[in-house]
Structure 1
Amino acid sequence: MVDSRTPPPEASEPSIGQLVGKLTENFSTLVRDELQLAQAQLAEKGKSFGVTGALFAVAGVFALFGLGWLLTAAMFGLATVLPDWAAALIVAGVVLLIAAIAGLAGRAALKSTPGPQTKENVMKDIEAIKAGVKS
């Protein structure tokens, strides 16, 4: 005997278990895709940083040698009016002051550089999934 008050479930509507399974599968695929995107972004940046870094290293080595000669010349120039130790101390102090200023500027520039947008993308995807589940 069939109860006529409860309609039979339609075959086209998936069950809650199937919906949860599909949601879990879609979410894991989404997370995997976001991780692959972040990896691709980092690999692309790494390649460009490698070439750029090598060029800056060569420029830095030659600039360092040139700077050394200029600092020696400055020390010898000051040594004509001051004792040798005082001239060397003044030149070293100026060099350390410039190094400190450059280091602080580099730190500030590094903090302002944006990283990969993976976290924001995942949060947007989670919000979209939550909105889809509610409707």
Structure 2
Amino acid sequence: MSDQTPSEQRAATASLGELLGEVTRDLSTLMRQEVALAKAELKETATTTAKGAGLLGGAGYAAAMAVLFLSIAAWAGLANLIGGGWSGLVVAVVWAIIAAVLYSVGRKQMKQVKGAPQTVETLEEIPQAFKRNKENR
């Protein structure tokens, strides 16, 4: 009985060209898989980023339009009750609160962006594959 592992037996019987071809194929497959993983992660990241950016853009647009049109109407309506200056301040505070809530939701969405963490992790493992280990000593 031989004390060689199957990998050692394969290395002993295969030609150098066969072994290099196998390594090249394996490396090519690994790189294709890494590129596919990166694409999938970046697509997910882009989707999350777009949602967050859309919410922030919507918050800005909504705040501007609301402040412009509704504030004028509310200011005029409250002016009869509490005076012109104070009614303007009340209306401004209400719309500032609305804008802050929309901003907060959009910012929370943006913080969920993760990039491509799994791709980075697996790419860091590739150099380790070329170092000597117990099997190829």
TM-score normalized by structure 1? 0.50
Structure ID, larger Rg: 1
- Which is helix-richer, 1 or 2? 2
